[in-house]
Amino acid sequence: MRHTNYDEVAATYDRRYADEDYAGIEQALVDFLGDTTHHVLEVGCGTGYWLQRLRERNAKVHGIDPSWEMLSRAQAKLTRGRLSRARGEALPFRDASFDRLFCINALHHFGDKRRALEEARRALRPGGGMMTVALDPHTGRDRWWVYDYFKGTLEIDKQRYPSCQQIRDWMDEAGFVRTYTREVQHLPGDVGAQEALRTGLVAPGHTSQLAVLTRAEFAAGVARIRTAIATDSSSRLTADLRVYATYGSAPEFADSQIQIGRV
């Protein structure tokens, strides 16, 4: 499976939040946390964007990420909360440490996704909840210029991203209850191809789908866009993506049949 080097793209990573409206994801996160004070963990916190969005909420927040460069940018944003360099497959916390755990556009980067969900279950207190947010390229519903011009990216995404059904199955196996999925954001997009090249929208740091490509693969995709422009100067890059949140709850009472994790 291909991996993104986030130390290399950290400097331009936050541009996506200026270029796109993620209001649906933010509302899903706010709804998930509710109004009660919680100990909250974000797994794969990156530059701390989502933790920063929670700064006005009455929550004790902690974020983890394996990239030092991403964490350094997160540290510069956060006035409170704690950050740790760690991976989702080996959370450096005791059992039942958190009330809520969330993972936004990150699970597909984990080497052992099933193990990461087991770790999430272990780290949650009885009655706690997990939310993971991601694309699901297995639905066949999405259209995206990245898939059109950068050959192989859809197939790579199908390898990287588990389907929502697969996530729920793994959650069930890990001991979560009441698992379900819902669509939380529709991301349409339409921009002139020339403008996209001029403004740097077509860049490895813009999305992990481009960041995982080799230099030759990326250059070939850019060449296809330039060829389209040469054929029709009004060519546009369009998108029609859907983002899903998958949820699971830790049982209210310890289940003697669930023995996950360490003391």
Give the model confidence (pLDDT) of 173-216 as tens digits: 999 999 999 999 999 999 999 999 999 899 988 889 999 999 99
Tell me how far the alpha carbon of residue 249 is from its chain's centroid.
19
Q: Specify the pLDDT at position 81.
A: 82
pTM: 0.91
What per-residue confidence (pLDDT) applies to 256?
A: 38
Give strand ranges (E) for the chain.
38-43, 59-65, 82-85, 98-104, 124-135, 143-144, 177-192, 236-249
What residue ranges define each of the domains in the chain, with the CATH number in brackets?
Answer: 6-249 (3.40.50.150)
Task: In whole angstroms, give the CA distance from residue 179 to residue 248.
Answer: 4
CA torsion angle 50 51 53 58 (round to 10): 140
Residue 243's DSSP bridge partners are 135, 185
Kindly tell me if the per-residue pLDDT of 18 is higher than 70: yes
Which is nearest to 162 in space by CA: 181, 185, 177, 148?
181
Burial code (b: 16+ CB inside 10 Å, e: under 16) for 60-75 equals ebbbbbbbebbbebbe
Pairwise CA distance, residues 187 & 134, whole Å: 12
pLDDT digits (tens, 9 = 90+) for 136-145: 999 999 999 9
Residue 185 three-state SS = strand
Q: Cα(first)–Cα(last) distance of the chain, in Å? A: 32
Mean pLDDT lowest among 5-19, 162-176, 181-195: 5-19
- Whether 260 shows a pLDDT value over 90: the answer reads no
**Residue 106 clears pLDDT 60, i.e. is over it:** yes
pLDDT of residue 254: 55
Q: What is the pLDDT of residues 214-231, one digit of tens each?
A: 999 999 999 999 999 999
Residue of 103, 104, 215, 209 lying closest to 160 (CA atoms): 209
